Amino acid sequence: MAEDLMTDTHKTDTQKGRVEIDDVVIRFKGRQGPVTALARTSHVLEPGTFTALIGPSGCGKSTLMNAIAGFVKPSEGSLRLDGKPIAGPSPEVGVIFQQYALFPWFTALNNVRYGLKQFGLPQREEIDRARAALAEVGLEAHADKYPQQLSGGMKQRVAIARTFAVGPKVLLMDEPFGALDAQTRLVMHELLLNIWRKHRATVLFVTHDVDEALLLSDHVQVMSQAPGRLIRHYHLTQQRPRAFSRSGSDLLEIRDEILDLLHPKTDLADSL
Amino acid sequence: MAVTDMSEDPTKARTSPRIAPFLSQGAKWGAKAGLPLISFAFILGIWALVGASGMVKEAIFPAPWSVWSATVEMWQNGTLQTDLAKSLGRAGVGFGIGATLGVALGLLTGRVALVRTLLNPFLNLLRPIPAIALVPVAIVWFGIGEGSKYFVVSYTVFLTVWFNTHHGMEYVPETYLRASRSLGASRMREFLTVVLPAAAPHIFAGIRLGVALAFLSLVAAELSGASSGIGFRLQEARQYVRTDRMFSLLIILGILGAVADLIVHAIGKKLVHWEQG
């Protein structure tokens, strides 16, 4: 799988998606004054890379993601996509939510069409493109079902189809498979990697599952306890599909290190 | 890859394991429709027994057959038809005006901060004022004609529908709006195809309440200052101590309200089809 080698050399590609996080601090109003959700953070997501952001719950990883999505304004610093400041939500930055955020009053097909409407396509073409997007996630047979009629994994596949159909440069995923059972999650990993290979968006994948981060991404960023900051970076070059049993011991070593960072040994000893 | 999460078909309707073996689907529906009938038959039976026993004076508590003949009497002399037509017309017009204004203003106060700031405190102050307290003012303003009835009914319906619509708009889930915006939707399309449907269950709850309140406030308006309508006829029956007619009219009111509620509920279920279960 050659694309693992392309990740850092592909900056000249026309379809960019370079995210610059420049001295960003995010504070929220709390009951006792402002609370820092994200400590000063600087980082660059290179075009076409797959970065997992991992950290303890409440550490601000979702806050950082929401800022890149344009949902939350940074209190300090700036965020740029391909040099342009991120001023608010835009179809250039796609978002996959943990709770799917499908519109229950639309069928799967019409959920996908919702994003396509902005292009003002002829109806025939719009439907064809939406069907193609559903086919990509293996749901062409379920196009006319409503979200309530689909399982959790199927709902998330519709959401992935809906987001990719718009052609985002950046894809943000907030614990997208957190609500799914382990087996469905494995299927979704494979599906996501396949689609990502085709579309080549810059992915930021928020998770608290270390294994998921290691199996999927080029880069793993570990965040500290709140107020969150990036404390460790791993660059993974192992070929995909990865498995802990197959790929030698280095993944397992990294996994142990990250687990140590997230749950220091003393805590574990106390809880036992 | 579709195998893993399709093993259970989520579209399959759940059937209660305890009842399912004993009743077929059809019989279950029959039982569902029949249950209210059992209740009505039971009450009617007791009522008939009390009537036949002669324990209670007819003038105080008429027997079912007296009520029935009073109904037939009102039908034959034509008052029942005109009263029904008048009352339904008033309730319908009043409800139409009130519900339309309520939804429209609810969408505005839910969406536009300036309108909300200007109107919400005032509207909340109006809400506790009962319809019947408004009747004297309505008569001064609109006379004892149709105008005052329309006013009282539409005012009552308006406040309830406004309140529910406004709250429906407030509880549109944030993730829907976020998803919509990062999918590049215009504000107009977001409003029409995301905000409205998301608020629709609340709007329909308000409309359903509005229907019930339309009948309530209608009778309040007709009890004073009217020369036709179910409410007026009730008032007239009191003057002649015709309890049989009163019972008849009350039962008719109950049936009208229940039927109207069923219709609105059925329409709501059709339009807000995604809200079941």
Domain membership of residue B247 (yes or no) is: yes
Q: What is the mean pLDDT of residues B173-180?
A: 94
d(CA A82, CA A166): 18
What is the ipTM score, two decimals? 0.87
Q: What is the spatial order of strands in the sheet that A50-54 belongs to? A: A93-96, A170-174, A202-207, A50-54, A219-223, A230-235
| Per-residue tokens: A124 | 């025939």
- Per the CB < 8 A criterion, the answer to whether A86 and A74 are in contact is no
pLDDT of residue B26: 57
pLDDT of residue A16: 86
Which residue in this structure is represented by tokens 């519109």? A103
Long-range contacts of range A3-8, CB-CB < 8 Å, 24 or more positions apart? Answer: A3/A48, A3/A197, A3/A200, A4/A218, A4/A237, A4/A238, A4/A239, A4/A240, A6/A48, A7/A46, A7/A48, A7/A49, A7/A50, A7/A218, A8/A46, A8/A49
Closest residue in B to A69 (Cα) is: B182
Please state the pTM of the whole predicted model: 0.80
Instruction: Give the A:B interface size as CB pairs under 8 Å.
Output: 89
Indicate which of A65, A72, A103, A195 best probes the interface with B, i.e. most B CBs within 10 Å of its own CB: A103
What residues of chain A lie within 8 A of the CB of B189, using their CB? 117
CA distance B11 to chain A (A): 5
Domain membership of residue B49 (yes or no) is: no
Structural domain spans, chain A = 3-92+168-263
pLDDT band at B29, cuts 50/70/90?
Answer: low
pLDDT of residue B214: 94
Q: pLDDT 10s per residue in chain A (272 long)?
A: 444 444 444 444 456 899 999 999 999 988 888 889 999 999 999 999 999 999 888 888 899 999 999 999 999 999 999 999 999 999 999 999 999 999 999 999 999 999 999 999 999 999 999 999 999 999 999 999 999 999 999 999 999 999 999 999 999 999 999 889 999 999 999 999 999 989 889 999 999 889 999 999 999 999 988 788 898 999 988 888 787 765 566 888 888 889 888 886 555 555 54
- Residue among B1, B178, B182 minimizing CB distance to A138: B1
What residues of chain A lie within 8 A of the CB of B179, using their CB? 95, 97, 101, 103
Selection from A241, A248, A254 nearest residue A187 by Cα: A241
Which residue in this structure is represented by tokens 């629709």? B200
Domain membership of residue B85 (yes or no) is: yes
Q: What share of chain B is helix, strand, coil (3-state, %, to 5)?
A: 80, 0, 20
Domain membership of residue B80 (yes or no) is: yes
pLDDT of residue B34: 78
Q: Are strands A219-223 and A230-235 parallel, antiparallel or unpaired?
A: antiparallel
Of residues B277 and A185, more confidently modeled: A185
Domain membership of residue B84 (yes or no) is: yes
Q: Measured between CB atoms, does A117 come within 8 Å of chain B? A: yes
Closest residue in A to B184 (Cα) is: A91
Phi and psi at residue B191, in whole multiples of 5°? -65, -45
Q: Measured between CB atoms, does A145 come within 8 Å of chain B? A: yes
Domain membership of residue B48 (yes or no) is: no
d(CA B20, CA A17): 56
What residues of chain B lie within 8 A of the CB of A95, using their CB? 178-179, 182
Angle between helix axes B64-76 and B243-271 (nearest 10 degrees) is 80
Phi and psi at residue A26, in whole multiples of 5°? -125, 125
Q: Which residues of B touch A (CB under 8 A)?
A: 1-2, 4-6, 8, 10-11, 175-176, 178-186, 189, 193-194, 197, 200, 272-275, 277
Closest residue in B to A162 (Cα) is: B183
pLDDT of residue B70: 95
* Cross-chain residue pair A150–B10, CB shorter than 8 Å: yes
What residues of chain B lie within 8 A of the CB of A162, using their CB? 183
Which residue in this structure is represented by tokens 């998921």? A212
* Cross-chain residue pair A184–B183, CB shorter than 8 Å: no
Query: Which H or E run contains B175?
Result: helix B174-182
DSSP conformation letters of A86-153: --S--TTEEEE-TT----TTS-HHHHHHHHHGGG---HHHHHHHHHHHHHHTT-GGGTTS-GGGS-HH
Going from the C-alpha of B50 to that of each of A207, B43, B68, B249, the distances in angstroms are 71, 11, 16, 20
A168 secondary structure, DSSP code? -
Q: Are strands A202-207 and A50-54 parallel, antiparallel or unpaired?
A: parallel
> What's the total number of domains in chain B?
1
Say yes or no to pLDDT of B3 above 50: no
Going from the C-alpha of A197 to that of each of A48, A67, A124, B105, B132, the distances in angstroms are 9, 25, 27, 49, 69
Share of chain B above pLDDT 70, in %: 87
What residues of chain A lie within 8 A of the CB of B190, using their CB? none
Q: Is A26 helix (H, G, I), strand (E, B) or coil?
A: strand
pLDDT of residue A265: 57
What residues of chain B lie within 8 A of the CB of A180, using their CB? 5
Q: Using CB atoms and an 8 Å cut-off, which of residues 193-232 of chain A contact chain B?
A: none
pLDDT of residue B145: 86
Which residue in this structure is represented by tokens 């109003």? A29
Closest residue in B to A169 (Cα) is: B182
Residue A42's region, left for phi above 0, alpha for psi from -120 to 50, else beta, is: beta
- Per the CB < 8 A criterion, the answer to whether B219 and B230 are in contact is yes
Residue A109's region, left for phi above 0, alpha for psi from -120 to 50, else beta, is: alpha
Q: Measured between CB atoms, does A120 come within 8 Å of chain B? A: no
Q: Measured between CB atoms, does A167 come within 8 Å of chain B? A: no
B273 secondary structure, DSSP code? G
Cβ atoms within 10 Å, residue B232? 22
Going from the C-alpha of A267 to that of each of A199, A207, A260, A262, the distances in angstroms are 42, 21, 10, 10
Q: Which CATH number goes with the domain that contains B114?
A: 1.10.3720.10
Q: Which domain holds residue B107?
A: 64-275
- Angle among Cα B219, B224, B227 to the nearest 5 degrees reads 90
Q: Is A54 helix (H, G, I), strand (E, B) or coil?
A: strand
Burial class (CB in 10 A: 0-12, 13-18, 19+), A239: exposed
So what's the architecture of A3-92+168-263 in CATH? 3-Layer(aba) Sandwich (3.40)
pLDDT of residue B27: 61
pLDDT of residue B211: 95
| Per-residue tokens: A75 | 């209190």
Q: Measured between CB atoms, does A163 come within 8 Å of chain B? A: yes
d(CA A141, CA B194): 25
Q: Is A81 helix (H, G, I), strand (E, B) or coil?
A: strand
pLDDT of residue B1: 38
Q: What is the spatial order of strands in the sheet that A76-81 belongs to? A: A33-45, A19-30, A76-81, A84-85
Lowest mean pLDDT among A54-63, A231-240, B25-34, B184-193: B25-34
- Residue among A69, A104, A166 minimizing CB distance to B274: A104
Say yes or no to pLDDT of B164 above 90: yes
CA distance A145 to chain B (A): 9
What residues of chain B lie within 8 A of the CB of A63, using their CB? none
Q: Measured between CB atoms, does A183 come within 8 Å of chain B? A: yes
